[in-house]
Chains A and B, each alone.
Chain A
């Protein structure tokens, strides 16, 4: 178990280091950053001043190791536009993105687990086909468009929910539904497949033979076994949702981390952009590690030699 943990941790650190390098290269792609920061009307002297002020006159390797060294201690640099610490900016915006991500995940689970169970219990019936169709429809839905449609219907025409902003919990319902759509197809399919596999296993036959009630067999025995991969994938899906929420935050004007990144891209504020890429990648790596860990704890067969 310890060996498993250590190995996973080493891979996670290596992945984070690679993403850091890529994020650094990414923000240097545009060529001379000083020119883009100084703006189109800057004189040569302005550009030189900017280059000195931001330390862009140093060799690239020095800049890179400076960034890595600081990031390792939690210092992600300073935003060019907001003139504050990037870590503080991300810290302020993160609760909104995490609230949105968790709302989306909860909605996705509430919808897809019952649907998956239903489809598995009624395997190869019209109901099963309908559930699979719902998953396909969800997969084809453009999230930003669904957001706009919900704004027109639930927001404007029915007046049930606020259209944009972050004032109250109601503000998270519509973006949460939209975000959930991206996870529902995968979670439904997985629940269905897991339940079908569990229902065909020996311990379910034993439970049936003992004369247990149908509900008890389904919920206590089958679901518990089918839940292991679902819980693990849910953690991974949360990572994808946090990364993908940038579009939805923009549609609903939620000022989370994704919105921050989008603003910063428009302003050439590259310390913020590279920091958000890094933070989201680290969160994703941590969540996948958590998923592996949960798998290993819940299912000893996966721990390996």
Chain B
């Protein structure tokens, strides 16, 4: 299979539609994330106990000033949702940057150098896969206290495996191609070949992995925050919103439906976009 030539596949109707839907969702999420302070209709942290648990606009007894209602402390739900999108995107992207740096470095080194180095890289990947991610992340945050920086570093240190696997296997394929041999003959240094020949040719695969990893990191952050060991309150992480609203869910189900649907739609959008990119690049994201 050719991995070097970037083949633009035929745009099959539904596939391109789903890619565009994914891109639109990700676009909206990015706007929300960047412009959150300008977009929020109310202060997402301001409490007003006289207006607690107002229902959203499609239900009886709603207040038009609070489109998605309010939470158990009277905070505007739409504002918290937008602010939560900022947190999700921030964590998804930063975790992926950290894990990409680690995973791509060791994957490319293993695939390029081979031999003992590659054995060590394979061993590192095997070990990493055997570590239960959620448990270890919970333990680190539980022992060291919750903060955004710690959360990002912990997840970044735990989620590099797919980057490493894909970087390693694609580097191995590129390494043996003619233009790399030509670069060797031309007297290029190892560093020059890695940065000038190998990396640009495996980049498309890594972009696809990155989308999957952003989605995974967002889901994991929500799960950790839900368990109370992720983003510290009162920051409105979607996972934390679901956890805080859990006690009211049997009487006002929308308090958990709204942040949950937001989380689901965002992750689905990122995955749809990643799927579309994979087809576009003819790339592989699975080991």
Scan B252-287; emit 1 where CB is below 8 A from any A CB, else 0.
Answer: 010011001001110110011001000000000000
Within 8 A of B (CB), among A257-283: 258, 261-262, 265-266, 268, 270, 273, 276-277, 280-281
Q: What residue of chain B has the Cβ atom nearest to residue A139's Cβ?
A: B271
Q: Quick check: which of A23-31, A38-46, A69-77, A295-303 contacts chain B, the rest being far away?
A: A23-31
Q: A11-B123, A29-B143 in contact; A247/B134 too (CB < 8 A)?
A: yes
CA distance A266 to B134 in the complex (A): 15
- In the complex, A266 Cα to B127 Cα: how many Å? 26
In the assembled complex, 20 residue pairs joining A and B whose CB atoms fall closer than 8 Å, in A order, are A19-B131, A26-B140, A27-B143, A136-B275, A139-B215, A140-B264, A142-B239, A148-B242, A148-B249, A152-B253, A152-B256, A156-B250, A242-B132, A244-B134, A246-B138, A261-B138, A276-B135, A284-B129, A284-B130, A288-B126
Q: How far is the CA of A189 from the CA of B134 in the complex (A)?
A: 24
A179 vs B119: C-alpha distance when bound (angstroms): 33
With A15-B130, A145-B263, A281-B131 as contacts: A140 and B144 at CB distance below 8 Å = no
Q: Mark A187-204, 1 if CB is under 8 A from B, else 0.
A: 000000000000000000
Residues of A within 8 A of B271 (CB): 136, 139-140
Nearest-CB distance from A149 to chain B (Å)? 7
Partner of A14, one of B123, B132, B239, B242: B123
Q: Is residue B226 within 8 Å, beta carbon to beta carbon, of the partner chain? A: yes
Contact B126 A30, beta carbon cutoff 8 Å? no
Point out which of B132, B264, B272 has the most chain A C-beta atoms below 10 A from its C-beta: B132
Task: Say whether A277 contacts B139, CB under 8 Å.
Answer: yes
Closest-CB distance, B75 to chain A (whole angstroms): 20
CA distance A261 to B140 in the complex (A): 12
- Is A246 a contact of B134 with CB atoms below 8 Å? yes
Q: Indicate if the CB atoms of A243 and B132 lie closer than 8 Å.
A: yes
Contact digits for B231-256, partner A, Cβ 8 Å, 1 yes 0 no: 00000000100100010011001001
A interface secondary structure, majority? helix
Structural contact, B130 and A262, CB atoms closer than 8 A: no
Q: Is A166 an interface residue (CB 8 A)?
A: no
With A152-B249, A265-B139, A284-B130 as known contacts, state yes or no: A137 contacts B227, CB within 8 Å.
no
Among B11-38, those with CB < 8 Å from A are 14
Determine chain B's interface SS by DSSP, over half rule: helix
Are A129 and B223 interface neighbours, CB within 8 A?
Answer: no
Which A residues are CB-close (under 8 A) to B143?
26-27, 29-30, 36, 265, 268, 270
User: With A145-B264, A149-B257 known to touch, is A27 a contact of B275 (CB < 8 Å)?
Assistant: no
Residues of B within 8 A of A261 (CB): 135, 138-139
- In addition to A36-B143, A144-B242, A281-B132, 16 A-B residue pairs with Cβ atoms within 8 Å of each other are A15-B123, A15-B127, A18-B127, A19-B131, A142-B223, A142-B263, A142-B267, A144-B239, A152-B250, A243-B133, A261-B138, A268-B143, A273-B139, A276-B135, A288-B126, A288-B129
Q: Mark interface residues in B110-145 (1 if CB within 8 Å of A CB, else 0).
A: 000000000000010011011111111011101110
Whether a CB of chain A sits under 8 angstroms from the CB of B219 is yes
Known A18-B127, A281-B132; contact A27-B272, beta-carbon cutoff 8 A: no
Which chain A residue shows the least CB distance to B263?
A142
Q: How many residues of A contact B (CB 8 A)?
A: 48
Asked if residues B134 and A22 are in contact (CB atoms below 8 Å), the reply is no
In the complex, what residues of B have CB within 8 A of residue A284's CB? Answer: 129-130, 132
B264: chain A residues at CB < 8 Å are 140-142, 145
Residues of A within 8 A of B253 (CB): 152
Indicate if B95 sits at the interface (CB-CB under 8 A): no
B135 touches which one: A29, A129, A142, A258 (CB < 8 A)? A258
Residues of B with C-beta under 8 A to A242: 132
The 3 closest A-B pairs by CB, nearest first: A243-B132, A265-B142, A140-B268
A247–B239 alpha-carbon span in the complex (Å): 12
Cβ–Cβ contact A142 & B129, under 8 A = no
**A124 to chain B: closest residue by CB:** B12
Known: A15-B123, A250-B227, A265-B143. A142 touches B138 (CB 8 A): no
Distance in Å: Cβ of B54 to nearest Cβ of chain A = 20
Q: Is the CB of B140 within 8 A of A247?
A: no
Q: Cβ of B222 < 8 Å from any Cβ of A? A: yes
A139 to B216, CA, bound (A): 9
The interface residues of chain A lying within 8 Å CB-to-CB of B144 are 29-30
| Least CB distance, B125 to chain A, in whole angstroms | 10
Nearest residue, chain B, Cβ from A156: B250
Contacts of B246 in A (CB 8 A): 148
Q: Does B229 contact A (CB under 8 A)?
A: yes
Using CB atoms, name the residue of chain A closest to B272. A136
Known: A29-B144, A143-B223, A144-B226. A277 touches B135 (CB 8 A): yes
Q: Is A228 among interface residues, defined by CB-CB distance under 8 A?
A: no
CB distance from B152 to the nearest CB of A (A): 16
B132 A144 Cβ-Cβ under 8 A: no
* Bound: A15/B124 CA distance, A: 9
Is A120 in contact with chain B by the CB < 8 A criterion? no
Residues of A within 8 A of B272 (CB): 136
Contacts of A152 in B (CB 8 A): 249-250, 253, 256
